[in-house]
Amino acid sequence: MKKKLSISDIARSLNISVTTVSFILNGRAEEKRISEELVQRVQKYIAEVGYKPNSLARSLRTGKSNTIGLMVEDISNPFFANIARMIEDNAYKNGYKILYCSTDNDTEKTKDLIQMFQERHVDGYIIAPPDGVEEEINTLISSGSPVVLFDRNLPGVHTDYVGIDNYGSTYHAINYLIRKGYKNIAFITLYSLQSQMQERMQGYESALAEHQMNQHIKEIPYSNDPDDIIKHVSAFLSRKKEVDAVLFGTNYLAVSGLRAIYNLGLKIPSDLAVIAFDDHDVFELSNPSITAIKQPIQEISGEVINLLLKGLKSPSKLKKPESLILKTTLELRKSSK
C-alpha cells in the first residue's frame, strides 16, 4: 500500500515548483510559456509514478466538483433507467460523474435529496421533479447552479426544460381510438398534480369533448407496489363494464394494468382496447402487442445533457432558459382493432 503522492512530491522530485506542475497538469503550460522540454519531463515522470491529482482538494479549491446530480422518479423504471444510461455516457465523455437518486415522487424526500446534492457541491442538476419543490429549485438556480428539468415542468420555475407534447399525444391517441369506433374510452392515470399528467389528462378530455363522449377517469395514487395498482385497476374495470378502451397514463400503470386485465379474463382487443403512455419492451412482446405512445428517449437525454453542459459552461445569468417540447409517436400495435 504505497503512499499517495501529492503535487509537492512531484515538484520536489523534479526540483521545480508546485506552480509549474499545477500549470502543466491543467494544460496551461502553453499559456504560461513553460518550456516544451519541461512539460515532457513532468508528464513522463507523472505517468511513471502514476500520480493522480486529488480531485477532492481540487474541488475544494475551485468550487467545482465535476459531478452532476440526477434525480428521477425511480431509477428502476425503464424509462428513467434508459435516460440515466444515455445521460451517463454523455456526462462521462465530458468529464462529469453522476450522483443519482430516486425521488419516489415524494416532495419531502426530494427536498432532502436536493439538500444532500447541494452539500456535495454538485455542479449541475438534472431533475424530473415532483410538485412542491419549486422553491428549493429556485434557490438552486439563484445560487447559480444550472438546473435542467425534464419529463415534467414546474410552474414558476424559470429554467431549462425538456419535455414532450403530452397534450397532443393523448389527444391524438384518443382520436385514434374514436376513429376506430370505441365508445367508452377510459383514462387510467396517476393521482398527481405534475404538469405532464395534467396535460395528458387535458388531451384526453379535449378529444372526448369534441365528440361529446363520456369521460371515464380513474386516478390512482402513486405507489411502489404493483399490487396496489392492480387492485385499483381491477376494481375500476369491474365496475365500469361499459368501458371498451383504455389509455394508461404511464408505462408502469399499463404494465400493472395489463396484469389486472388478464386477471379479470378480459380479452384484448375484443373486450378492451389498450394504449399505454411510454413504450416498454413488454408492449412489443405481449400477445397481442400493445399500442404505445413512444417518447424519443434518445433525443430527450441528448437535449437534457446538452442544455446542462451549456449551462455549466456559461454563467447561468447570461443564458435565458430554453424549453424544448419534443414529439412523440403513436406506435400502432395489435391492442386495438
Partner DNA sequence: ATGAAAGCGCTAACAC
Partner DNA sequence: GTGTTAGCGCTTTCAT
Residues that bind DNA (CB under 7 A): 4, 6-8, 15-20, 22-23, 25-26, 32-35, 38, 53-54, 57-58, 60-62
Cβ atoms 244, 270 nearer than 8 A: no
Output the furthest CA–CA distance in the chain (Å, rounded).
86
| Helix residue ranges, H only, 103-190 | 107-119, 134-142, 166-179
Pick 89 or 108: Cβ nearer its own copies: 89
> CB of 26: closest distance to its own copies in angstroms?
15
Binding track over 133-162 against its own copies, x by CB under 8 A: ---------xxx------------------
Binding track over 262-281 against its own copies, x by CB under 8 A: x-----------------xx
Pick 62 or 323: Cβ nearer DNA: 62
Helix (H) or strand (E) holding 275: strand 273-277
Q: How many other C-beta atoms are found inside a 10 Å radius of the C-beta of residue 287?
A: 7
- Which entry of its own copies, DNA, none binds 286, CB below 5 to 8 A by partner kind? its own copies
Cβ atoms 103, 72 nearer than 8 A: yes
For residue 245, the SS3 value is: strand
Please state, in angstroms and rounded to a whole number, the distance separating the CA atoms of residues 7 and 36. Answer: 20
- Which entry of DNA, its own copies, none binds 81, CB below 5 to 8 A by partner kind? its own copies
Exposed, middle or buried: residue 274 (CB in 10 Å: 0-12, 13-18, 19+)? buried
Residue 65 makes contact with its own copies by CB under 8 A? yes
Binding segment (CB under 8 A) for its own copies, from list 38-46, 151-159, 191-199, 286-294: 286-294
Residue 53 makes contact with its own copies by CB under 8 A? yes
Number of residues located near its own copies, criterion CB under 8 A: 50
> CB of 56: closest distance to its own copies in angstroms?
5
Please name the amino acid found at residue 149. L
Binding segment (CB under 8 A) for its own copies, from list 28-36, 74-82, 156-164, 323-331: 74-82
Q: Which residues neighbour 226 within 8 Å (Cβ) at sequence distance 6 or greater? A: 252, 255, 256, 259
